[in-house]
Amino acid sequence: MDLFLQNFFSLQNVVNALQLGSFYALIALGYSMVYGVLMLFNFAHGDVFMTGSYIGFFIASGLVGLSAAGILPLPNWLILALTIMLAMILTAFVGMAIERIGYRPLRDAPRASAAITGLMIGIILETGNLAILGASRQKFPELIPTVTIEFAGTRITNTKIMIVGLSLLLMIGLHQFVRRTKWGMAMRAMAFDFVVVPLMGVPLNAIAALTFALGSALAAAAGIFFGMAYPILDPYMGILFGWKAFVAAILGGRGSVLGAALAGFLLGFIEIFVATIFPSTFRDLIAFSIILLILTFRPHGFFGEPYSARLRL
Amino acid sequence: MEAAKVTLSRKARLGAALRRIWAPFRRVSLLSWLLGALAAVVMEQIAGTQVAWILGLSKIPFLFGFAIVLETAVHTPSALPFVLVSAVLYVSIIYILPVLLVARLTTGLGNRIAAFFMNRSFFLGVVVHLVLLYATIHIWSDISDYRVLVMRLTLIAIMVTLSLNLVNGYMGEFSCSHPGFMALGAYAASVFSLVFFVDDRLFGAPLLPASMGPFMFPLGLIAGGLVAALGAILVAVPSFKTRGDYLAIISLAFMFIVKSLFENLEFVGGPRGMGGQPEWASLPVVFGWAILSVWIINNFVRSTVGKAMNAVRDGEGAAEAMTVNTQKTKMVTFLFAAFWAGVAGGLLAHVVSYVNPGSFGIQKLAEVLAMVYFGGLNSVVGSVVGAVGYSVLSEALRSLEIYKWIIIPVLLILVMIFRPTGLIAFKEFDVAKLIAPKDERIEGEEVEYAPIAD
């Protein structure tokens, strides 16, 4: 029993949970922002995560190749930084393209129809990936040599610390952006009322594109971190992560950055700690049951406020 | 300005031309069309193989030639022109010609019979139409086992689509839990069959003689439906407290929970699934259940509760003020929809003789949602069209392998962009109007129907 408790509360689990949670949190932020600003379920977001991961993979492999060939010798940390930045920018464009093709034509349609287009764009992204790259799984190049730090009887790798740290930085950055800048204020205003606010001169289309771009960039960061933590990529990896992050986004409350991040980490903790007690097949069952329970008593999530969904159908 | 006028008149001319071509068939009643279809499938049964042979096709094209043309285009493009011409000829000779001919020849007779039915016995008329429809389907499917399978799966898809349309279309909510309800129904009905009538690895010797099985099968299906409705209570109680997108999330979580639950229940096979269900869901059985579900659901949506459903969708507060019991309406509708999804799941399990948790996941959800929104919200006909259209498309594009999953989503996105509520949305399905004789004077070529407001 002692040993069990020691295992259960070990720092190891906490770090693992933080790492898993940061993936969920980063993806959930994208869902949450789109849902907050446009009141839409962007069901393609999980596959944007996958796309970001693949874009990162290609950039990283390309740069490593160039570096090894001596054409463009770069230190590994610079490659990593470049990969993250470039992938975030490119995936932001993917997100904006999705908004332009799948959501903007449907702005006056029933919201459920837009959800269906999102779902279909997700399937197109998965299948397109499969058709172009084939069924073989890709291995993310190791950019930073793994160093294991022994600390209080637990072993923590430097990648895990970096992933958690960078994720937190990104989340704080987003929070500051939404709180402090004019664009962030426009987004919050849109979330408050997207019928009246455009009449006040706030450009709805630009805000929508910005929302999708920000969310997709964060998903791309999550994708690259995922590639660093579990170096195998496959076209369907976005599905389960995406849907779980979607549930986390709702749990956090509509449009709440803090809530989505918190709920993402909570989901990570639940999954890791459930797996230490029960067989790991019970993970989804228990995680979703807990979420269902929380939502039963707090229907609007942690930080959400009661609202009336303007169902236009 | 000028150009716009020209295209308009061109459009009008095209419409007039089409109407002229269609003129001889305007008074053809449904009865005659069914007779025509019956003639076509009988023709295929008698002469299909010979015609296919004469046209140089190796066998009867199983899906109106679509599949064979695409398959040739993918595998041997050089033979495409030949196969294309053969397929078009085959479809013209075997299907189009007999249908048009017989429908036109029996127009007078069909109208007279239809009028007789309308005046004397409406019920008998419906039965006669259904018998004709079933005969057509049966003879068409009789050509190959593959057609039987596709036909049964399509009929089940119709049931699922209709039941989801109740929640997503008629009630205006967004439910994601239908795969979960299907799984509950499939497992419950399978356990019922295996425990009572089959000597099985999981449950041992049967409790009742196996010969009773087919007669007790409806009980198993109803049990499956009830179990699904029971599961629906778990979703409905917390999620109908507030309006909004709440149901979407709860139902999604519920779907994951059900799938995960069955993966962990070892006595029903765990993640490996459960096989060995007797094949009681033959074509007539599935057809019967599908017709039953269409009939009951169509009556349901036209009943007071059905009207209340629409009222809840269009304005819950207003509905409440008009003394509609919104809570009760939502609960009843949701449980009713779940029941039919459960029955459909039970049928599915007995068609493929196997269930596993993996087949009731996100993929299934995307498929069912696609059928509902493709066909059209708030419409029984739309659901039938959506389910049949999606199934046929899915089978016809099979030879394109994974590219199928690019073409279907692209099509669906286009449908969503140009008709956001689906192809045939907000149409009432009136059987009386459908089977009525069509020989009253149709006058007024100039009658223009007002465009349907979006």
Higher-scoring residue by pLDDT: B181, A11: B181
| The predicted structure's pLDDT at residue B150 | 93
Query: SS3 letters for chain A?
Result: CHHHHHHHCCHHHHHHHHHHHHHHHHHHHHHHHHHHHHCCCCCCHHHHHHHHHHHHHHHHHHHHHHHHHCCCCCCHHHHHHHHHHHHHHHHHHHHHHHHHHHHHHHCCCCHHHHHHHHHHHHHHHHHHHHHHHCCCCEECCCCCCCCEEEECCEEEEHHHHHHHHHHHHHHHHHHHHHHHCHHHHHHHHHHHCCCCHHHHCCCHHHHHHHHHHHHHHHHHHHHHHHHHHCCEECCCHHHHHHHHHHHHHHHHCCCCHHHHHHHHHHHHHHHHHHHHHCCHHHHHHHHHHHHHHHHHHCCCCCCCCCCCCCCCC
**Same domain as B324, residue B381:** yes
**Same domain as B178, residue B73:** no
Higher-scoring residue by pLDDT: B442, B51: B51
As given in the structure block, the two tokens for residue B394 are 């899915």
3-class DSSP assignment, residue B57: coil
Residues 6+ apart with CB under 8 A from B202: B194, B267, B268, B269, B274
**For residue B447, pLDDT beyond 70:** no
Higher-scoring residue by pLDDT: A142, A5: A142
**For residue B446, pLDDT beyond 50:** no
Distance from CA of A69 to the nearest CA of B (A): 36
Q: Does a structural domain hold residue B237?
A: yes
Instruction: Write down the residue that tokens 């022994």 correspond to.
Output: A150
**Same domain as B341, residue B291:** yes
Instruction: Summarize pLDDT for A57-87 with one digit per residue, the tens.
Output: 999 999 988 888 888 788 888 889 999 999 9
**Same domain as B122, residue B233:** no
Distance from CA of B285 to the nearest CA of A (A): 33
As a whole number, mean pLDDT of residues A307-311 equals: 47
For residue A138, list its beta bridge partners.
A233
Binned at pLDDT 50, 70 and 90, residue B158 comes out as very high
**Same domain as B155, residue B133:** no
DSSP states of B166-214: IIIIIS------HHHHHHHHHHHHHHHHHHHH--BTTTBS-SS-GGGHH
Domain closes at, from B83, B112, B141? B141
**For residue A309, pLDDT beyond 60:** no
Q: Quick one: B106 exposed, middle or buried, by C-beta within 10 A (0-12, 13-18, 19+)?
A: buried
As a whole number, mean pLDDT of residues A111-120 equals: 89
Instruction: Summarize pLDDT for A226-262 with one digit per residue, the tens.
Output: 998 888 888 888 888 888 898 888 888 877 888 999 9
- Report the C-alpha gap between B371 and B422 in whole angstroms: 9
Task: Write down the ipTM of this complex.
Answer: 0.87
CB contact under 8 A, B257 and A307: no
pTM value?
0.89
Contact between B65 and B87 under an 8 Å Cβ cutoff? The reply is yes
As a whole number, mean pLDDT of residues A203-216 equals: 93
As a whole number, mean pLDDT of residues B313-333 equals: 89
| The predicted structure's pLDDT at residue A3 | 56
**Same domain as B367, residue B426:** yes
Distance from CA of A191 to the nearest CA of B (A): 15
Pick the closest to residue B61 from B138, B79, B35, B70 (CA basis): B70
Give B244's contacts in chain A (Cβ within 8 Å): 307-309, 311
Which A residues, 250 through 269, put their C-beta within 8 Å of a C-beta on chain B? 250
**For residue A189, pLDDT beyond 70:** yes
**For residue B360, pLDDT beyond 80:** yes
| The predicted structure's pLDDT at residue B170 | 92
The percent of residues in chain B predicted with pLDDT above 70, rounded, is 94
Evaluate the CA torsion angle B7, B10, B16, B18 in order and state its sign.
Answer: negative
Most confident of A131-140, A193-202, A214-223: A214-223
Binned at pLDDT 50, 70 and 90, residue B79 comes out as confident
**Same domain as B198, residue B160:** yes
The continuous run of DSSP H or E covering B406 comes out as: helix B404-418
Which residue of B360, B373, B419 to mutate against A (max A Cβ within 10 Å)?
B373
The domain of B188 spans 145-434
Distance from CA of B454 to the nearest CA of A (A): 9
| The predicted structure's pLDDT at residue B7 | 59
Pick the closest to residue B341 from B151, B152, B164 (CA basis): B164
- Identify which of A110, A112, A285 has the shortest CB distance to residue B260: A285
Distance from CA of B419 to the nearest CA of A (A): 9
Q: What angle do CA A41, A43, A46 make, to 5 degrees?
A: 130
As a whole number, mean pLDDT of residues B228-243 equals: 86
**Same domain as B260, residue B314:** yes
Q: What is the mean pLDDT of chain A?
A: 86
- Report the C-alpha gap between B315 and A308 in whole angstroms: 12
Least confident range from A72-76, A100-104, A285-289, B91-95: namely A72-76
As for how many domains chain B has, the answer is: 2
**For residue B104, pLDDT beyond 80:** yes
Which B residues, 325 through 384, put their C-beta within 8 Å of a C-beta on chain A? 362, 366, 369-370, 373, 377
Domain closes at, from B141, B169, B190? B141
**For residue B119, pLDDT beyond 70:** yes
Give B263's contacts in chain A (Cβ within 8 Å): 281
- Report the C-alpha gap between A22 and A7 in whole angstroms: 22
| The predicted structure's pLDDT at residue B55 | 87
Q: Does a structural domain hold residue B454?
A: no
**For residue A7, pLDDT beyond 80:** no
Residue B414 sits in a domain of what CATH number?
A: 1.10.3470
Contact between B392 and B341 under an 8 Å Cβ cutoff? The reply is no
**Same domain as B190, residue B134:** no
**For residue B444, pLDDT beyond 50:** no
As a whole number, mean pLDDT of residues B304-331 equals: 89
- Identify which of A102, A116, A308 has the shortest CB distance to residue B244: A308
Domain closes at, from B122, B141, B160? B141
Per the document, the length of chain B is 454
Higher-scoring residue by pLDDT: A154, A125: A125
Higher-scoring residue by pLDDT: B7, A139: A139
DSSP states of A25-68: HHHHHHHHHHHHHH----TTHHHHHHHHHHHHHHHHHHHHHHHH
**For residue A9, pLDDT beyond 90:** no
As a whole number, mean pLDDT of residues B284-295 equals: 95
Q: What is the mean pLDDT of chain B?
A: 87
Question: Any CB–CB contact under 8 A between B403 and chain A?
Answer: yes
Q: Does a structural domain hold residue B5?
A: no
As a whole number, mean pLDDT of residues A96-116 equals: 89
**Same domain as B105, residue B73:** yes
Instruction: Summarize pLDDT for B377-394 with one digit per residue, the tens.
Output: 999 999 999 999 999 999
Instruction: Summarize pLDDT for B402-425 with one digit per residue, the tens.
Output: 888 899 999 999 999 999 888 988
- Report the C-alpha gap between A224 and A213 in whole angstroms: 17
**Same domain as B283, residue B359:** yes
Question: Any CB–CB contact under 8 A between B426 and chain A?
Answer: no
Contact between B376 and B386 under an 8 Å Cβ cutoff? The reply is yes
**Same domain as B234, residue B376:** yes
Contact between B365 and A119 under an 8 Å Cβ cutoff? The reply is no
- Report the C-alpha gap between A244 and A230 in whole angstroms: 18
Architecture of the domain defined by A2-297: Orthogonal Bundle (1.10)
Binned at pLDDT 50, 70 and 90, residue B3 comes out as low
